[in-house]
Structure 1
């Protein structure tokens, strides 16, 4: 069976986004309403400048006792997040997430159009297993090369 691409696997194909000056409270409400784990931060020109995830809300806002109604997304977002193309294989995307320590990858077309966000939750167990095997292989090669 051919491996799925991130675009085929995305459970949310609509883009959830807010402006950098929106509050963390706004992001939490939008994410809750859309039942998703992230929101893209888009500047007035339409360029993606960041991403805010549920983990960011916990570690960068709640754990630091910041006021969600007055804290702006620009203060807590991950700036210029890594993106993948729609034809990226799921196992490749999961490998990127494993190696870089995040769970959400914006999917951007070659035309720079934002297509959505691929979440590790969108991957099947076999695809995650393939990515873990590849990550272990990378570790072994790096160890061998010193």
Structure 2
């Protein structure tokens, strides 16, 4: 099974958006992350964990921050034609739960650890499930 078979639509936000807008969008869409874009390309990802760390560190001062101030900048991506086991391996290697899916430089979706687990039957060594 390939990434494109289980990936889903991705929500994006501009790196210069304030963090309240990002939090509101995540709450409205009931999602745990947003892919951050700047100048037409993926520049980061912001997750629930980033918000928790931000609030713990800055408290009320966090209101002044932009998404680019709290996002994770080293984004690991994957292509839609990659195998699901490749996605699992990347997530494990880099200790991430989400991979933006990029084709020809364009963001086309996202795959999460939950997506991989839900489709574990199709992954060779995980076929014991």
- Give the TM interval when normalised to the shorter protein: 0.7 to 0.9
Using the size of structure 1 for normalisation, the TM-score is: 0.74
Using the size of structure 2 for normalisation, the TM-score is: 0.83
- Alignment check: 8 A CA contact 2:14 2:37 kept: yes
Match of 2:86 in 1: 92
Q: Where does structure 1 differ by over 4 angstroms across 4 or more consecutive aligned residues? A: none
Q: How does 1:102-117 map to 2 (within 5 A)?
A: 102-109=96-103, 111-117=104-110
Match of 1:120 in 2: 113
- Alignment check: 8 A CA contact 1:48 1:80 kept: no
Bigger Cα Rg: 1
Q: Distance in 1 between matches of 2:81 and 2:42?
A: 20
Gaps (5+ residues) in structure 1?
132-146
Gaps (5+ residues) in structure 2?
none
Q: Distance in 1 between matches of 2:58 and 2:121?
A: 39
Change (3 A) 1:88 1:26: same
